[in-house]
């Protein structure tokens, strides 16, 4: 299991994430546990009948091992009895998000295929929980704000300003190209040096900012 440090709340709410790898991980999507149980019961029946452990969601089929089935049963049991968590499935990757690290670690010890675990440093957990718009950096970073853009067209004057003020703003080459062409920028982001620059940038970007995150250096948290 690979360990990572949480530097930003997951989904503006959760400090911890447990990553699980399973070929049928997607059966837990949208917390549809009744469907998950149907799939698992079918596989359990095949195991008891000494049949090939295979799931056929459509024209294709997915083979699973006994360890995979074991993990699916553990996950179903734990998720059905838990509260205050989120599950995200991307094909075989399952992400469990919670603020209960004890529970996630308990689950991880029961599983065969845990891929990773995210948790914050001891001195940043409270700060992150109280400020969903905080990003922790472990090394010095010259920008104080991360600005995420919306779907509206950006004033071309902002492109000219950004091009002439490279000491105040950090914009990726790809985003600069989009700005120059007044292209689609929804979800794209840039960094601004300080609050004064943020105030100025907002004059250009008014109505087209979906999020502003403050960047905090880890060593400054306790100061």
Structure tokens given for 20? 């699980």
DSSP 171: -
End-to-end CA distance of the chain: 33
Does residue 35 sit in the same domain as residue 142? Answer: no
Q: Which of 82, 108, 128 is the last residue of a domain?
A: 128
Q: What is the pLDDT of residue 223?
A: 64
Looking at the 3D structure of the chain, how many domains does it have? Answer: 2
Give dist(CA 13, CA 86) in Å, integer. 10
Does residue 149 sit in the same domain as residue 206? Answer: yes
3-state helix, strand, coil in the chain (%, to 5): 40, 25, 35
Q: What is the pLDDT of residue 31?
A: 95
Q: What is the pLDDT of residue 189?
A: 97
Indicate the pLDDT class of residue 63, thresholds 50, 70 and 90.
very high
Does residue 28 sit in the same domain as residue 124? Answer: yes
Q: What is the pLDDT of residue 153?
A: 85
Give dist(CA 87, CA 84) in Å, integer. 10
Q: Which of 128, 149, 166 is the last residue of a domain?
A: 128
Indicate the pLDDT class of residue 93, thresholds 50, 70 and 90.
very high
Q: pLDDT by residue (tens digit) across 178-223?
A: 999 989 999 999 999 999 999 999 999 988 999 999 999 998 887 6
Cα of 206 vs its chain's centroid, Å: 27
Q: pLDDT by residue (tens digit) across 146-179?
A: 999 998 889 899 999 999 999 999 999 999 999 9
Give dist(CA 10, CA 98) in Å, integer. 9
Does residue 46 sit in the same domain as residue 140? Answer: no
Does residue 66 sit in the same domain as residue 159? Answer: no
Does residue 18 sit in the same domain as residue 121? Answer: yes
Q: pLDDT by residue (tens digit) across 3-47?
A: 999 999 999 999 999 999 999 999 999 999 999 999 999 999 999
Indicate the pLDDT class of residue 60, thresholds 50, 70 and 90.
confident
Does residue 197 sit in the same domain as residue 177? Answer: yes
Q: pLDDT by residue (tens digit) across 117-138?
A: 999 999 999 999 999 999 999 9
The alpha carbon dihedral of 64, 68, 69, 72 has a sign of negative
Does residue 107 sit in the same domain as residue 164? Answer: no
Does residue 78 sit in the same domain as residue 178? Answer: no
Q: Please state, as a whole number, how many other Cβ atoms lie within 10 Å of the Cβ of residue 106.
A: 11
Name the burial class of residue 179, with classes exposed (0-12), middle (13-18) and buried (19+) by CB atoms within 10 angstroms of its CB: buried
DSSP 14: B
Cα of 215 vs its chain's centroid, Å: 18
Does residue 162 sit in the same domain as residue 138? Answer: yes
Structural domain for 138, as ranges: 133-220
115 has pLDDT over 80? yes
Full strand arrangement of the beta sheet holding 93-98: 2-5, 114-119, 16-21, 93-98, 85-90
Give dist(CA 118, CA 98) in Å, integer. 10
Does residue 93 sit in the same domain as residue 162? Answer: no
Does residue 12 sit in the same domain as residue 60? Answer: yes
Q: Which of 108, 128, 148 is the last residue of a domain?
A: 128
């Amino acid at each position: 299991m690979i360990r990572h440090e949480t530097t930003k709340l997951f989904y503006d709410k959760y400090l911890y994430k447990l990553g699980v790898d399973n070929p049928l991980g997607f059966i837990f999507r949208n917390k549809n546990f009744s469907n998950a149980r149907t799939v698992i019961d079918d596989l359990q029946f095949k195991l008891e009948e000494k049949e090939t452990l295979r799931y056929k969601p459509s024209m294709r089929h997915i083979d699973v091992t006994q360890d995979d089935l074991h993990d699916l049963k553990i996950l179903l049991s734990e998720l059905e009895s838990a509260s205050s968590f989120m599950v995200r499935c991307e094909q075989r990757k399952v992400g469990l998000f919670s603020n209960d690290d004890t529970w996630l670690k308990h689950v991880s010890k029961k599983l065969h295929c845990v891929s990773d675990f995210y948790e914050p440093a001891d001195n940043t957990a409270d700060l992150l929980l109280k400020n969903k718009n905080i990003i922790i950096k472990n090394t010095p970073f010259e920008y104080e704000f991360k600005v995420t853009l919306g779907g509206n067209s950006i004033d071309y004057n902002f492109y000219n300003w950004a091009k002439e003020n490279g000491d105040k703003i950090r914009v990726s080459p790809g985003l600069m190209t989009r700005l120059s062409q007044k292209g689609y920028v929804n979800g794209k982001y840039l960094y601004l040096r300080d609050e004064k620059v943020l105030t100025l940038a907002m004059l250009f970007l008014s109505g087209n900012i979906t999020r502003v995150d403050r960047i905090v250096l880890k060593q400054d948290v306790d100061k």
